Amino acid sequence: MLPESKSEKLDLDSESVLELGQEKTIFNSIQTKNSKDVLLNTDTPSRPILSKKTIFYLAFQSIGVIYGDLGTSPLYTFSSVFTDAPTREDILGALSIVIWSLTLVVSIKYVIFVLSANDNGEGGTFALYSLLSRYARINWSNPNVIGRAGFDRYPTGDIKGVNRGLRRWIENSSFIRHLINLLSIMGVCMVIADGMLTPAQTVIGAIQGLRIEVPSITLEARTGISVTILILIFMVQSFGTTKIGVTFAPIVAIWLLLNFACGIWSVYTYDSSVFQAFSPYWIYHWFANHGQQGWEMLAGTLLCLTGVEATFADLGHFSPSAVRISWLCFAYPCILMAYIGEAAVISMDTTGTAWQNPFYASVPPSAFWFAFVMAVLAAIVASQAMITACFSILSQAMTLSCFPQLKVVHTSKKFRGQVYIPVANWLLMIGTVAIAAGFQDTTALGNAYGTCVISTAFITTILMTLVTIIVWRWNIFLSLAFLLFFGLIDGAYLTSALRKVPQGAWFTILVAVVLSTVMYIWRYGSLRQWDYERVLKIKLRQDKLNGLNEVENTTTGHAITTPTTTTALVPYNATKLNTVMIVFDPAGFDSPMSFQHLQSALQVDPTVVIFCHLRHVNIAMVAENERMIVFKPEGTESTYRIIVRQGYKDLPNTSVEFGLMLSNHIARLLQEEGHHSEFETIVEAQARQLTYLTSTISVRSKPSSFLLHRFVIELYAWFRRNTMKNQQEMLGVPVEKLVQIGIQYEL
């Protein structure tokens, strides 16, 4: 006898599993544990434990990917703060703000707290949202995959009373849930806007240094050089994070060491007393001296934080330990020393021009051209930080059904978070080139840039506060202290940056609005489609239940007792097809609607039916003996369900036809289990004919719905038509053997 397993959690009903090797081990695990937990843990493993050698290797890689942006901020920060030559007190105040911003926002908030709130090693705003979704029911997920996506709330029975009350209030409030989702989407859109602004800002900032040695160079020439470099940056993205990181890491390392050396040289040569800026007194003096104008000038000092989100958004490419090591032990002291050296030069400058190009002013004259070349190379690397972050967060957005499904290329077999999205790469390139050609200087760009950076940081603070309450279960007063302390810093910067909307910040807001609109159209359409499918499934099940009570066997007069939740109702006069039919099943349980439509419309019954569900798992390659899990619905004959597990670097085996591979696998299991009659049935049907059944879903709006709803649904349908992948083509299914059922959804 084939063993049987009840599995309500997976909606597989009473199904039997055909055993073989590792499959038997998996089956035994399902027998003794909650089946959903076993399959979830198998498919979505937590981040693996890395060796010290690997961590240091990743730390080295992260230097070339994450810190190019933060590391090139000294090129333009002080020049964005002032409009004319500052006094010594002013430069000390600005330096003190920079020092404490890097310390409090980057080193403490992000490196200590935010990196600890990763979601199975993934970072970024959507990672925070996903993490919250695991501990509170705030997410709307596809009911067909919710059991396998990991969004069932974790057991948190021991959460404290106040924290539990807040969680319950959030879960019961549709408005709050939508607000949290909106904040997450806005944060992601700001990072993507940052991905377009960062390359333009850093490259233009580096190229404008040519004015020192080549005063005759025109603005158009500098812009042309910048655009050429930007195009080259995006053209190399397909090589992947590891190759780019290893190539760029030495460049950034040399650049940061150059900053450190120039800082020491400038302090020694000009003014060593600038170290007093470590005292917060100078921040007080800044505001006491400038008042409201000092608050408005914060929009300039804000640029020292550009790229801070990359430390978290790029986490999926590395690890928290690697990022902490590379920042605290290397990047942080080098960047601090760069700003200190620039302040020393500006404070003793008699020409009144050093503040316009502070980095180049702090470079020894004999080293200018070396510093210029390194600045350009570092600017190229700085662009990499946010481009890579964009790929990571877009991949997360697609997983959470918040963005149209684009092609994702995994560039590493070892590190699953390293991804490349071709369409996103070229769209980012077009946007970045347009920005560089349109703005042409770092002042207007800085206004747009700062708004983008601090908006993301402020949203991160809000979501992190919820994480401390719901996930980490802090005392509510500690969580409020976290919100007030870091929210005050972010809020001061944000309100200052928003005053720059007419001077360039409008662009950030425009990009965020456009991207948010795309995400909300996709989200709205997905929710409407899931509601439609839920109602349709209930109706189909009810129709089958009613059919069982009405259809009688014409020979015996007894009612047919086919299990209704696993197979479709077969009409009593159905035509028998001597074929093996592979039915592609997107859900992985119940009877696919394509098969139900085939039976009800054509009244045919294949000899052997194999429901095939492709499950993409978050590991590079699935072992050969773990790729297929086979179930046999109880009470059925010659009907099987097979789950094909595919890693993100697994390529389809095109040496054997896909259907033959599945049916041969099942036949071999049947033979080994001693089910000779079923074995002969499948072999005979396979020799006769092999067909494939799938469905194509066409979405349109209900004519009776209101105008805005129809407009949004039609846009959603357009996105679906142009982004959804055809998995049958990827598997090499012969077109002449494929039967496609068209299903119309009116949403």
Instruction: Write a three-state SS string for 471-519.
Output: CCCCCHHHHHHHHHHHHHHHHHHHHHHHCCHHHCHHHHHHHHHHHHHHH
What pLDDT, on the 0 to 100 scale, is given for residue 417? 62
Query: Does residue 713 contact residue 520 with C-beta atoms inside 8 Å?
Result: no
**Dihedral of the CA atoms 590, 594, 596, 601 (nearest 10)?**
180
Q: Is residue 2 one of the residues assigned to a domain?
A: no
What the block records as the tokens of 704 is 């009776």
What the block records as the tokens of 312 is 């978290």
What pLDDT, on the 0 to 100 scale, is given for residue 265? 95
Q: Is residue 371 one of the residues assigned to a domain?
A: yes
What pLDDT, on the 0 to 100 scale, is given for residue 11? 31
Q: Is residue 426 one of the residues assigned to a domain?
A: yes
Q: What CATH number does the domain containing 68 carry? A: 1.20.1740.10
Terminal Cα distance for the chain, rounded: 46
The DSSP secondary structure of 626-682, one letter per residue, reads: GSEEEEEETT-SSEEEEEEEEETTPPP-TTS-HHHHHHHHHHHHHHHHT-HHHHHHH
Does 511 lie in the same domain as 573?
Answer: no
In whole angstroms, give the CA distance from residue 129 to residue 65.
Answer: 24
- Where are the alpha helices (H) located in 365-475, listed in sequence order? 368-399, 422-439, 442-470
Does 597 lie in the same domain as 473?
Answer: no
With 60 as the cut, is the pLDDT of residue 8 above it?
no
Does 441 lie in the same domain as 565?
Answer: no
Scored b (16 or more CB within 10 A) or e, 600-634 reads eeeeebbbbbbbbbbbebbbeebeeebbbbbbbbe
**Residue bearing the bigger pLDDT, 32 or 392:** 392
What the block records as the tokens of 589 is 């349980």
Does 276 lie in the same domain as 410?
Answer: yes
Which of these three, 518, 534, 560, is where a domain ends? 518
Polymer length in residues for the chain: 747
Number of domains in the chain: 2
Does 514 lie in the same domain as 570?
Answer: no
Q: Is residue 33 one of the residues assigned to a domain?
A: no
Across 48-57, 116-125, 561-570, 620-629, least confident range = 561-570
Does 96 lie in the same domain as 197?
Answer: yes
Q: Round the average pLDDT of the chain to a whole number and report it.
A: 80
- Where are the alpha helices (H) located in 501-644, listed in sequence order? 505-550, 593-602
- CA distances from residue 280 to 80, 97, 156 in whole angstroms, order as listed: 22, 8, 42
Residue-wise pLDDT for 224-251, tens only, equals 888 898 898 888 887 776 666 667 778 8
With 80 as the cut, is the pLDDT of residue 407 above it?
yes
Does 646 lie in the same domain as 596?
Answer: yes
Q: Is residue 12 one of the residues assigned to a domain?
A: no
- Cβ-in-10-Å burial (0-12, 13-18, 19+) of 414 comes to exposed
Instruction: For residue 206, give its domain range.
Output: 56-140+156-518
Q: Is residue 190 one of the residues assigned to a domain?
A: yes
Record the pTM. Answer: 0.75
What pLDDT, on the 0 to 100 scale, is given for residue 221? 87
Does 484 lie in the same domain as 596?
Answer: no
What the block records as the tokens of 167 is 């969680």
- State the residue for tokens 């944060």: 187
- State the residue for tokens 């499904």: 405
Which of these three, 499, 518, 537, is where a domain ends? 518
Confidence of residue 547 (pLDDT cuts 50, 70, 90): low
Q: Is residue 72 one of the residues assigned to a domain?
A: yes
Which of these three, 518, 535, 561, is where a domain ends? 518
What the block records as the tokens of 373 is 């070349």
Instruction: Report which of 223, 201, 208, 233 is spatially closest to residue 448, judged by C-alpha positions.
Output: 201
Q: Is residue 244 one of the residues assigned to a domain?
A: yes
- CA distances from residue 510 to 129, 262, 497, 505, 733 in whole angstroms, order as listed: 23, 39, 15, 9, 44
Does 689 lie in the same domain as 584?
Answer: yes
What the block records as the tokens of 615 is 């499950």
Across 2-16, 119-133, 675-689, least confident range = 2-16
What pLDDT, on the 0 to 100 scale, is given for residue 288? 93
Does 588 lie in the same domain as 439?
Answer: no
